[in-house]
Structure 1
Amino acid sequence: MKIFPVAQVSSIDQYTIQNEPIASIDLMERAASAFYRRFTALYPHGDVSVLAGPGNNGGDALAVARMLLQDGRDVEVFMLTSEDKLSQDAQLNYQRLQRIKKCTVTLQSEEQLTAIGTENTIIDGLFGSGLNRPLEGLAQKLVAYINNTNVQVVSIDIPSGLFGEDNAGNDPEAIIMADYTISFQFPKLAFLLAENEAFVGEWVVEEIGLHPQIIKETSSDYCYSDRQLIRQLLKQPGRFSHKGDMGHALLLAGSYGKMGAAVLASKACLKAGVGLLTTHVPRLGYGIIQTAVPEAMASIDRSDILLSEFPDINGFDAVGVGPGIGTKPNTITAMRELLQALNGKPIVMDADALNILSQDESMWELMPDNAIITPHPGEFDRLAGPSYSAFERLQKAQQFAIDMQVVIVLKGAFTAVINVDGHCYFNSSGNYGMATAGSGDALTGILLALLAQGYSVLEAARLGVYLHGLAADLLLQQMAEEAIVASDIISKIGAAFQSLRR
């Protein structure tokens, strides 16, 4: 699913109106009907307060109010402005609403703020995605009043006051804090950024039949990778496939006190379908890796406690490095030599490998094109400098991927896979139970397995991130998010493959 800037969505709306063709008021009715269906499924009973602003978002709200009244619900409508200041389509919906005798509409003023029923569910239709400056005056006071109540708030398309993309210059005190947001046709980029979670709440996208041709023809730098898109990436091995066909991976992981990282990454790699795995560990980690992961072959470093070398990589299809390796001088030297020896071989780099890169920028010159790096926000900030918002970090990551020709897996609630051309794919699977020690090591193992099996770096990154999150989602059938640990996620990788194929 493409994610468009709000300016492009407006153009897509206009194209639909002109080329379906459909009257703008009828497109508004279609959107209001989609919202109404989802809202009544979420809140089948109870009184409702509808807040309507002057623009088309307010028009949607007035149409929804009419539908709820016709359904027999008790509805009170609060308009932010008088009828003559409404947009043309909002005026038409106001007139339709007025024909319902039991409808009461209050023109909002500061003295009437407390008239809004705090026992009612509130539908927020004050301002839509076209907003380009912070709310002020009565609108800001109304938002502040709503946010200070415990009432349930459901926003139409986007929480009022929130900008569709960059909110760096916005006033957080002037943004509705929705419990649920029902967006039309596409999610807004702002929904996928961490600083906006408190405003957006849970969100869902409802189709409203915008013209498929213009959606197809309009390019976007952002995509939301849902199950259907990811499923198309998944390969089916042939009946006569053998372990040699499924790739031989080399994993460099572990150091004194951090052998768990090597174990977790190795197990995840094997569970993700690699044919053969060799894990290179410090000498004192030999017994651990052979006992904990008997399916893996062990390569032993000359150092007892850290990685100071690596085996001949010519016999391997892909390399993974980073989990638990530390940042000692001997390990830094070994990683530099590894990068020099790759000769274009696919590599995934995580954890301490990224910390080493952040300490020595000259090592970036040795990075092969199309390497996968998997930083969390803190690790990325160490690589590219601090960011003051998730939006700024995302833009930096896009430029970083272009400049360095690497694929970045920027980990988070909607992990962003950023291709070498800067195109960004947000992941749709996963839950907060994945915020646990070793989860990143498991992801490294999955990505390494997919690279070794012959997936392209972009395919491996998108598919691996989705499978990692899906495995965690499957765990919710057995336990709460708080109880999830990395080994649980690894245990569900097979089920994630099975679920995706079904």
Structure 2
Amino acid sequence: MKIFPSSSIKKLDAYTIEHEPIQSIQLMERAATALTEAICSRWDTETPVVVFAGPGNNGGDALAVARMLAEKGYKIEIFLFNTKGELSPDCQENKELLEIMDEIKFHEITSQFAPPTLTVDHLVIDGLFGSGLNKPLSGGYAAVVKYINASSATVVAIDIPSGLMGEENTFNVKTNIIRADVTLSLQLPKLSFLFAENAEFIGEWDLLDINLSQEGIEELDTNYEMLEAEDIRSLIKPRNKFAHKGSFGHALLIAGSRGMAGASVLAARACLRSGVGLLTVHAPICNNDILQTAIPEAIVEQDVSEICFAVPTDADDYQAIGIGPGLGRSEETEAALLEQLSSCQTPLVVDADALNILANHRHALNNLPKGSILTPHPKELERLVGKCQDSYERLTKAIELAHTAKVHIVLKGANSAIITPNGKCFFNPTGNPGMATAGSGDVLTGIILALLAQGYAADEAAKIGTFVHGLAGDFARKKTGVISLMAGDIINNLPTAWRAVSE
């Protein structure tokens, strides 16, 4: 599913109008019908509705919804803000249709605004401004937004909460943005919906299909997409009847230190549950017995050190290497990691402490083998690229890093972003808050390592691995709930997740 920048939304509307063909007002009517159905499915006719409409097409949508709700028996009061005496043509047409309806209380605000009383029983429909907004709200509109936010009414935003911009909100005025309980987005999500700091404005969001041209969607370019199950299923390689363990690669996992054997166990178990043919775990001597007992399916290669990764190992016989989980940051480990990377030609999955060490030696990022994948959480990324003010800046800097270092990046979190060296971003829809727990990232490293070793391209391994990781977490949630979910539960549900995407 593509995610278009706000500048492209009008192009998509125009393409639909030209090629369907359909008139602009008819497309607005189609959108209003979908919005009305969604509202009616949640609130009954006993709910008093107050509509706040702006002068543009977002306001036109709101007026059309108001008319349709009134026709279904809802009690409607409308405030149309027309302070400049200039409405969009479609907004003007919907205004004229409303003015002949006696059952609606209609107010056109040209100067002074006497706000209505909004109670906990009211439903507010926000249609002040849509995705075309490109600067913070101010003046009277900001005052209206603050008034709505201060009320106890339930707020539904049409397409996007008024005041929120579709992409960057780094320098927006947060107090001047509608705080919606529900956002009903038309056809496709907005990039800003995927950022944590905007959740307080968006609330729960839902997509409404208004039949915009599929040809137009396919033809219009964008660097942002949301992964879907069909995308992942199409990437899964079928297994040959006569395949053997050598057909599915030999992976090397360099992980663990004294007290951190669990990280290597979790990554190794996830790797083995994700189809790798062979797995060797390189670990300090103190972790040998734990690994041999916990994961008998893996080969254990002991480091010379009792407590940490201290000496690089020969990587020529492996198809992929995972490095970082539970590694620690001792001087010995730092030196061994840098030496390991300096001569490595095998694709890497770099995570956790390996990322933290690279943050102190950023030049080494430029020497990573082709097809390597970094899997930082936000703080680990900021150690690599510097402090970021918000998710948009963090994503922008991650894109720059992927390009300059020629690596793929999985920026972990809700809606994890898979970023390619050419600037494409794929957002993952699977996963849940229960996965915000120790060891979850180690599991992801193991899954992606297994896929790289099996010969999947870096972008494929990152997409499939992130999607399946989140899906396994979603299956685990059904059994454990959010609070009790542990990283091991994600591994236990990998077989179910793999079946779901491959069969």
> What TM-score do you get using the length of structure 2 for normalisation?
0.96
* Partner Cα separation in structure 2 for residue 25 and residue 161 of structure 1: 24
Question: Contact conserved, 2:434 with 2:477, CA < 8 A, in 1?
Answer: no
Q: 2:219 aligns with which of 210, 217, 220?
A: 217
Partner of residue 363, structure 2:
362
Aligned to 1:71: 72
Q: Are 1:488 and 2:489 counterparts? A: yes
Structure 1 residue 82, shift from structure 2 partner: 6.8
Cα distance between partner residues in 2 of 1:196 and 1:244:
47
Give the corresponding residue for 1:312.
314
1:135 match: 137
2:414 is matched with 413
- Give the letter for the 2:174 counterpart: P
Please say which of residues 44-53 and 199-208 is displaced more in the overlay. 44-53
Q: Cα deviation per residue 1:279-322 (whole Å; 9 max; x = unaligned)?
A: 11110100111111111111111101001124322221111000
Contact map agreement 2:118 2:153 (CA 8 A) in 1: no
Instruction: Work out whether 1:207 is the aligned partner of 2:209.
Output: yes
CA contact (8 A) 1:84 1:91 kept: no
Matched, 1:390 2:397: no
| Residue aligning to 2:164 | 162
Q: Describe the SS at the equivalent of 2:282.
A: strand
**Distance in 1 of aligned mates of 2:220 and 2:236:** 26
Contact kept in structure 2, 1:49 and 1:117, CA below 8 Å: no
Equivalent residues in 2 for 1:379-458, closer than 5 Å: 379-458=380-459
C-alpha distance in structure 2 between counterparts of 1:242 and 1:2, whole Å: 38
In 2: Cα distance, 1:455 partner to 1:187 partner: 29
Alpha-carbon distance between aligned partners in 1 of 2:213 and 2:255, rounded to the nearest angstrom: 50
Which amino acid counterpart does residue 349 of structure 2 have in structure 1? Answer: V
1:101: how far off?
2.5
Q: How much has 1:271 moved relative to structure 2? A: 1.1
Task: Name the amino acid aligned to 2:432.
Answer: N
Partner Cα separation in structure 1 for residue 500 and residue 35 of structure 2? 30
Cα displacement string for residues 120-139 of structure 1 (whole angstroms, at most 9, x for unaligned residues): 12211111011112112221
Residue identity in the other structure for 1:67: M
Q: C-alpha separation between the residues in 2 aligned to 1:83 and 1:62?
A: 18
- Deviation (angstroms), 1:241: 2.4
Q: Partners of 2:208 and 2:240 in 1: how far apart?
A: 38
Q: Work out which of the residue numbers 332, 335, 352 in structure 1 matches 2:334.
A: 332
Amino acid at match of 1:374: T
Secondary structure of 2:478 counterpart:
coil
Instruction: Report the RMSD for the aligned CA atoms in angstroms.
Output: 1.7
Deviation at 1:195, TM superposition (A): 1.7
Match of 2:41, SS state, is helix
CA deviation vs aligned residue, 1:381-411 (integer Å, no higher than 9, x gap): 1101111121111111111111110001111
Instruction: Name the stretch that deviates more: 34-43 or 122-131.
Output: 34-43
Does 80-89 or 325-334 show the bigger shift?
80-89
Moved more, 468-477 or 317-326: 468-477
Alpha-carbon distance, 1:97 to partner: 2.2
SS in 1 for 2:153: coil
CA–CA separation in structure 1 for the residues paired with 2:244 and 2:150: 62
Once the two structures are TM-superposed, the CA of residue 84 in structure 1 deviates from its matched residue by 4.9
Report the residue type matching 1:468 in the other structure. H
1:290 counterpart = 2:292: yes
Count the aligned residue pairs. Answer: 501
Aligned residue for 1:324, secondary structure, equals coil
Q: In structure 1, what is the equivalent of residue 95 of structure 2?
A: 94
Relative to structure 1, is the Cα distance of residues 209 and 70 closer, same or farther in structure 2, using a 3 angstrom cutoff?
Answer: same
The structure 1 residue matched to 2:324, chosen from 316, 322, 325, is 322
Please say which of residues 96-105 and 321-330 is displaced more in the overlay: 96-105
**1-side partners of 2:22 and 2:322: how far apart?**
54
Structure 1 contact 223–425 (Cα < 8 Å) conserved: yes
Distance in 2 (CA, whole Å) between partners of 1:177 and 1:206 is 20
Q: Please give the alpha-carbon distance, in whole angstroms, between the structure 2 residues aligned to 1:202 and 1:266.
A: 36
CA shift in 2, pair 1:40/1:268, >3 Å: same
- 1:347 aligned onto 2:348: yes
Residue 48 (str. 1) matches residue 49 (str. 2): yes
Aligned to 2:186: 184
In the other structure, the counterpart of 1:24 is: 24
Deviations 1:306-355 (A, max 9, x none): 01124322221111000000111211122122213322x11100000000
State the Cα distance separating 1:16 from its structure 2 match.
1.8
Partner of 1:246: 248
Q: Secondary structure at the match of 1:76?
A: strand
1:111, CA displacement in angstroms? 5.6
Alpha-carbon distance in 1 for matches of 2:381, 2:491: 25
Is 2:366–2:404's contact at 8 Å kept on the other side of the alignment? Answer: no
Q: Is the 8 A contact 1:325 1:352 kept in 2?
A: yes
1:235 aligns with 2:240: no
The 1:341/1:390 distance shift into structure 2, 3 A limit, reads: same
- Give distance in 1, aligned partners of 2:480 and 2:125: 33
Q: Which amino acid aligns with 2:99?
A: Q
Deviation at 1:212, TM superposition (A): 2.3
State the one-letter code of the partner of 2:403: I
Q: Equivalents in 1 of 2:252, 2:167: separation in Å?
A: 40
Deviations 1:147-179 (A, max 9, x none): 122322111110000011111221100000111
Q: Secondary structure in 2 aligned to 1:123? A: strand
Q: Deviations over 1:79-108 (max 9, x none)?
A: 223795322101111222233331111345
Please state how far the C-alpha of 1:110 moved relative to its aligned partner. Answer: 6.3
Q: Which amino acid aligns with 1:404?
A: A
- Alpha-carbon distance between aligned partners in 1 of 2:78 and 2:241, rounded to the nearest angstrom: 63
Provide the C-alpha distance between the structure 2 equivalents of 1:250 and 1:420, rounded to a whole number of angstroms: 24
- Checking the alignment, whether the CA contact within 8 Å between 2:313 and 2:340 is kept in structure 1 is no
**1:475 touches 1:488 (CA, 8 Å); kept in 2?**
yes
Q: Contact 1:57/1:127 (CA < 8 Å) preserved in 2?
A: yes
What residue is the counterpart of 1:272 in the other structure?
274
Alignment of 1:33-44 (within 5 A): 33-44=33-44
Measured in 2, the distance between the counterparts of 1:370 and 1:303 equals 30
TM-score, reference length from structure 1: 0.96
Corresponding residue SS for 2:164? coil
Task: Find the aligned partners of 1:111 and 1:361 in 2 and give their Cα distance.
Answer: 57
